[in-house]
Amino acid sequence: MPEFLVAPVRLPSLIPKLIGPVADFGFVYTHGFLPCCWTENAPITTELRWNGLVTARVVPLGFWGRAYATFSCDHCGNTIYFENAVCERCGHALGYAPQANALVSLTEDSGAWTSPALPGERLVYCANAEHAACNWLVPEGGEAYCAACRHNEIVPDLSNPENLLHWQSIERAKKRLMYSLIRLGLPLQNRVEDPQHGLAFRFLADDQTVPVMTGHENGIITISLAEADDAERERRRTQMGEPYRTMLGHFRHEIGHHYWDLLVDNKPSLDRYRQLFGDERADYGEALKTYYANGAPDGWYNTHISAYATAHPWEDFAESWAHYLHIVDTVEMAAAYGIRARPRTGDENLAIPR
């Protein structure tokens, strides 16, 4: 009997928003409850409803797969974590193989690495492992950079120890983003594969006169290196009156703009998008000026996922996308740790069966 996963966690009231289809992942529902996903081929047994609307569908737990939070060393069984490069129990080197969604133990073999989990494959670490910034693996004799790092277009001057420390922190957050995107089967072309819309990252240090602005433009995501400084990021969060501000949150928001370009703009879903989020042809610059001058309208939490989502339809989509990724990873982690939802309402439809 397969296990099933449902998501009965309540969010602030949201207007019904349907984003889909997204690549091959299915459809995303964001009604008054936590979004859930489904595919047309998944054996669906239960629907959760709120005000007559489907708020979640039960899907096989195996569809969600293993959470990035928990892995086991395939040599000794020790619990290991996503960024680990060495198992602290048995001492084996570890590397993440994105094609298998596996953090595997490694044995050195004539200048390459082999793993019992990946028989017949000879692997090497991504070139950024040299800077303690990556533990992902690539095939021997292939690309120098892994599936995540080959999207880097600009990195800071790594001869500066502070730059190196901050870049390592940024890379950890970026790897968690890329993990999710790969797992969701979303398109991930780089600028070589798609010079016009390929995904690229620029990690830039602030100039003494011109600060770096974090943002997105035509597939290029720019992240200010200063955001990796916890104290500076908290100062900016306080200054802007934000409830939270994280590196991973930046990545998830900006990638939402990228996928709007790929999956919505000039696509059949554009009309549906405008019905749900508003007309993106409204002047973006003026909309931001109005938002920063006046803030979010009263009662914004009844219609939007965040205050900033009210600024413009593009930001509404990016904020909704980011929060959806937050939620998916949280539910994956909870499922991986065996956390069960069985509310005291007596409604078995709101439970995660064993």
Instruction: Find the range with the poorest average confidence among 40-49, 89-98, 104-113, 158-167.
Output: 40-49
Closest CA to 105 of 135, 61, 130: 135
Q: How far apart are CA 155 and CA 217, in angstroms?
A: 17
Pair 86, 73: CB distance under 8 Å:
no
Single-letter amino acid code for the residue at 295: G
Residue type, 162: E
Q: Which amino acid is at 28?
A: V
**Per-residue pLDDT reduced to its tens digit, 13-67:** 222 233 333 332 233 333 222 333 333 333 333 333 333 333 333 333 333 333 3
Each residue of 325-344: pLDDT tens digit? 998 888 888 877 777 666 67
5 strand-pairing partners: 59
Confirm if 314 and 257 have CB atoms less than 8 A apart: yes
pLDDT the model gives residue 350:
64
Q: CA-CA distance, 77 to 257, in Å (whole number)?
A: 40
Q: How far is CA 19 from CA 31, 33, 317, in A?
A: 11, 15, 9
What is the C-alpha separation between 186 and 179, in angstroms, rounded? 11
Rounded to whole angstroms, how far apart are CA atoms 140 and 170?
26
Amino acid (one-letter) located at 258: H
pLDDT tens, position by position, 203-260 = 999 876 778 999 999 999 999 999 999 999 999 999 988 888 999 999 999 999 999 9
With a cut of 90, say whether residue 76 has pLDDT above it: yes
Structure tokens at 209: 């006169």
Give the pairing of strands 102-109 and 59-60: unpaired
Say which amino acid occupies 231.
A
Helix 313-336 × helix 270-277 angle, to 10°: 90
pTM: 0.79
pLDDT in tens, 155-205: 999 999 999 999 999 999 999 999 999 988 899 999 999 999 999 999 999
Which of 116, 112, 122, 65 is CA-nearest to residue 90? 116
- For 49-85, give the DSSP string: EETTEEEEE-EEHHHH---TT-EE-TTT--EE-TT-S
Separation CA 91–CA 340 (nearest Å): 34
Judge residue 7's burial from the number of C-beta atoms within 10 Å of its C-beta, 0-12 exposed, 13-18 middle, 19 or more buried.
buried
Cα separations (Å) of 139 from 102, 114, 128? Answer: 15, 10, 15
Amino acid type, 274:
R
**SS3 call for 125:** strand
* Alpha-carbon gap, residue 256 to 245, rounded angstroms: 16
How many other C-beta atoms are found inside a 10 Å radius of the C-beta of residue 252? 24
Do 225 and 206 meet the contact criterion of CB atoms below 8 Å apart?
yes
CB-based contacts of 81, cutoff 8 Å, min separation 6: 69, 70, 71
Structure tokens, 349: 């439809």
